[in-house]
């Protein structure tokens, strides 16, 4: 049986119980580390010399370092990782749920992006940036590793950790979910305003699934499939070299 989200925080004992101020300071420091770099995506419009390999490796290292910081916070506080949704209970059921939910979310997001562009929201000013386009066998292999790492780390950070802390600091689960989705969308400024809104809606859906299931497995599966299709599979099918 899934533990209600509101009970997971209060029912799990911890070595160190953070008060409201300590949680606010912790999450503020974390946001200071990630929000400025995410906001820079709005300026990544023009094609430059930044290549896919360098960007992929830097992204993998950045996301793993942020994940390590989150895990350090939990270790320091004596909080189990299952508090963020890292649980293997009913894992295959969660995987199948993620696979099933991905299909309507994928097509719904594509429709929403087209609709927003039709009504006047901006689309990317250039084709997909070179730093998101893999070319050659080695880069496609690296791209597969990239999307796996990104799905795992970003769902842990934006859904697991931020919702956990926002809920404690703000004491409003709905606002916690919305804030996590807004911050998640900031890293996609290169996709235009239509893309940012679409990503924000997808982040909101991932968050709702996470809160509903009490597990990160289904959101990770959905996130992985979304990125795998756009960064690995579709370029291969379209013959991008």
For residues 191-198, average pLDDT? 90
At residue 238, the pLDDT reads 76
Number of neighbours of residue 230 by Cβ within 10 angstroms? 14
Domain residue spans of the chain: 17-237
Q: Please, are residues 2 and 213 in contact by the beta-carbon 8 Å criterion?
A: yes
pTM of structure = 0.84
- pLDDT of 104 above 60: yes
Express as a percent the part of the chain with pLDDT over 90: 52
Lowest pLDDT segment from 48-52, 64-68, 158-162 = 48-52
Cα–Cα–Cα angle for 84, 89, 94, rounded to 5 degrees:
85
At residue 6, the pLDDT reads 47
Give the CA count within 13 Å in the CB-facing half-sphere of 127.
Answer: 4
Long-range interactions of 75-83: CB distance < 8 A, separation 24+: 76/16, 77/14, 77/15, 77/16, 77/18, 78/13, 78/14, 78/15, 78/16, 79/12, 79/14, 80/12, 82/8, 82/12, 83/8, 83/9, 83/12, 83/164
Element (H, E) at 173: helix 173-185
* Angstrom distance (rounded) from CA 175 to CA 181: 10
pLDDT tens, position by position, 1-60: 454 544 444 444 445 577 888 889 899 988 988 887 787 667 654 545 567 888 888 889
At residue 9, the pLDDT reads 44
Q: Quote the tokens at residue 97.
A: 């749920």
pLDDT band at 236, cuts 50/70/90?
Answer: confident
Q: Among residues 108, 115, 134, which one has the least CA distance to residue 230? A: 134
* Angstrom distance (rounded) from CA 157 to CA 149: 12
- pLDDT of 206 above 50: yes
At residue 61, the pLDDT reads 87
pLDDT tens, position by position, 72-95: 999 988 899 999 999 988 999 999
Express as a percent the part of the chain with pLDDT over 70: 84
At residue 226, the pLDDT reads 95
Q: Give the DSSP letter string of 29-59.
A: HHHHHHHHHHHGGGGTTS--S--HHHHHHHH
């Amino acid at each position: 049986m899934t533990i209600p989200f509101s009970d997971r925080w209060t029912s799990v004992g911890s070595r160190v119980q953070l008060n409201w101020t300590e949680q606010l300071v912790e999450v503020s420091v974390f946001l200071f580390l990630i929000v400025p770099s995410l906001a820079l995506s709005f300026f990544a419009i023009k094609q430059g010399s930044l290549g896919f390999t360098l960007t992929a490796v830097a992204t993998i290292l950045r996301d793993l370092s942020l994940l390590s910081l989150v895990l350090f916070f939990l270790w320091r506080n004596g909080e189990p990782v299952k508090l963020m949704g890292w649980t293997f209970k009913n894992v295959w059921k969660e995987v199948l749920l993620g696979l099933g939910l991905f299909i309507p979310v994928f097509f719904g997001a594509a429709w929403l992006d087209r609709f927003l562009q039709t009504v006047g929201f901006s689309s990317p000013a250039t084709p997909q940036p070179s730093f998101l386009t893999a070319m050659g066998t080695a880069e496609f292999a690296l791209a597969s590793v990239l999307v796996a790492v990104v799905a795992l780390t970003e769902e842990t950070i934006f859904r697991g950790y931020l919702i956990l802390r926002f809920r404690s600091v703000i004491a409003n689960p709905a606002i916690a979910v919305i804030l996590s989705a807004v911050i998640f969308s900031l890293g996609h400024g290169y996709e235009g305003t239509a893309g940012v809104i679409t990503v924000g809606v997808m982040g909101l859906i991932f968050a709702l699934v996470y809160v509903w299931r009490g597990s990160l497995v289904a959101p990770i599966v959905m996130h992985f499939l979304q990125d795998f299709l756009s960064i690995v599979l579709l370029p291969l099918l379209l013959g991008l070299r």
